[in-house]
Amino acid sequence: MSADRTDATGPTNAVEAHGVEVTLGGSRILLGVDVVVPAGEVVALLGTNGSGKSTLVRALLGAVPLSAGTVHLLGEPLGPRAPWSRIGYVPQRMPASSGVSATAVEVVASGLLHGRALRPPRGWRTRVRAALDAVGMAGHERRPVQEMSGGQQQRVLIARALVREPELLVLDEPTSGIDVPTQATFVDTVARLHGQGATVVVILHELGPFEPLIQRAVVLRHGRVVHDGLPPRPRLDHAGATHHHEHAHHDPDPPPTGPALGPTLGPTLGMEAP
Shortest CB 178 distance to ligand ATP, Å: 16
Shortest CB 198 distance to ligand ATP, Å: 23
Nearest to ligand ATP of 25, 99 (CB atom) = 25
Give CA–CA dist 262/274, Å, rounded.
10
- Kindly report the three-state secondary structure assignment for every residue of 228-273: EECCCEECHHHHCCCCCCCCCCCCCCCCCCCCCCCCCHHHHHCEEC
Give CA–CA dist 165/169, Å, rounded.
9
Shortest CB 90 distance to ligand ATP, Å: 14
Nearest to ligand ATP of 160, 221 (CB atom) = 221
Shortest CB 59 distance to ligand ATP, Å: 9
Shortest CB 176 distance to ligand ATP, Å: 10
Cis peptide before 254 (omega within 30 of 0): yes
Q: In what order do the strands lie in the sheet with 199-203?
A: 87-90, 168-172, 199-203, 42-46, 216-221, 224-229
240 Cβ neighbours under 8 A, 6+ residues apart: none
Q: Give the residues lining the site for ligand ATP (CB under 6 A).
A: 24-25, 27, 29, 47, 49-55
Nearest to ligand ATP of 54, 189 (CB atom) = 54
Shortest CB 1 distance to ligand ATP, Å: 30
211: left (phi over 0), alpha (psi -120 to 50) or beta: alpha
Pairing of strands 199-203, 168-172: parallel
Nearest to ligand ATP of 31, 36 (CB atom) = 31
Nearest to ligand ATP of 37, 219 (CB atom) = 219
Using DSSP's 3-state secondary structure scheme, residue 191 falls into helix
Give CA–CA dist 247/198, Å, rounded.
34
Nearest to ligand ATP of 52, 75 (CB atom) = 52
Element (H, E) at 161: helix 150-162
